[in-house]
Amino acid sequence: MKYLAAAGLLGLLLAESALADTMANPLGFLTGDERTTLDSKGELTGFGAKPADLALWQRAPFSDVVRSALPSGPSTIAAEGLFILDVPGLPAGKDLDRKVVGAFTAFSTMKGLQVYSASLRKMETFIYDSWRVDNLASRTKLPDPSTDVLSPHIEYTMYQKEEQTGDTYSRISIDLYSEYDIVTLNNLTGLKWFFVQLVPPEKLKTVFVIIPFSDKVVLYGITVADTARLLGLENTKRASFFYRMKALAGWFGTNLRAGR
């Protein structure tokens, strides 16, 4: 992912408004140390067992939207990340919505997506293949959807063949608002790790908040899962789910810059 890592530009973004609780300055809720970390590392992260363990989203001006999108049941893993994407020539209005929707629904471009393996400490293939389908009973490839006509709420089902968890189906929902867009991904089939069901159906949810700002995009992501408890592997699982989310964030950023 191509993050914005220039102190001057980040400073302009943070200084744009003194109102930390408005969307006029989506980074105004960050502390001084967090701003320094974001500037130097290109990302802010947080880990826990449940959403309440994570600090960033609860202080953000979009906290109510995230809260309404998160699962209400128990969870064993929660991770969040805040990134700044540099997207030159970013349009506005409906043209921006089309770019965001197009970037997140170019399902075929997930083929070959790489992810960092927390256990192997190297990059590996995350998704071997990916395409849109009609329903859970079908593997018939449908083309990536058109963005010519958009509605405030959009839903699609996608099939993917993952390296670690095999064949999976997921639902992607996109809600378009005036100041930001919300993308939610939910697993429709269980995720298996060897012979263990790691995550039951609909127990893994990832939410992205996309906030445009000039030629940059603030991208916040949170992933929450109710997973099988594997003694001694909780930290590794937590990192793995974060890196899955980060890989999707990078995929979106690449598509957005490419004008998918």
Per the listing, tokens 């200084």 go with 15
pLDDT at 180 over 80: yes
What pTM value is reported for the model? Answer: 0.89
Q: How confident is the model at residue 24 (pLDDT cuts 50, 70, 90)?
A: low
* Domain at 7-258: CATH architecture: 2-Layer Sandwich (3.30)
User: Which pLDDT value is given to residue 229?
Assistant: 74
- Domains of the chain, by residue range, sit at 7-258
Tens digits of residue pLDDT in 83-120: 999 988 888 888 999 999 999 999 999 999 999 987 78
CA distances from 127 to 25, 108, 179, 248 (A): 35, 10, 31, 10
pLDDT of residue 231: 54
The burial of 203, by beta-carbon neighbours within 10 Å (0-12 exposed, 13-18 middle, 19 or more buried), is given as: buried
Q: Who's near 218: CB < 8 A, 6+ residues apart? A: 26, 27, 82, 83, 84, 85, 209, 210, 211, 212
pLDDT of residue 172: 97
H runs (alpha helix) in 16-104: 32-41, 56-59, 63-69, 93-104
CA dist 94 and 203 (Å) reads 33
The vertex-221 CA angle with 254 and 1, nearest 5°, equals 25
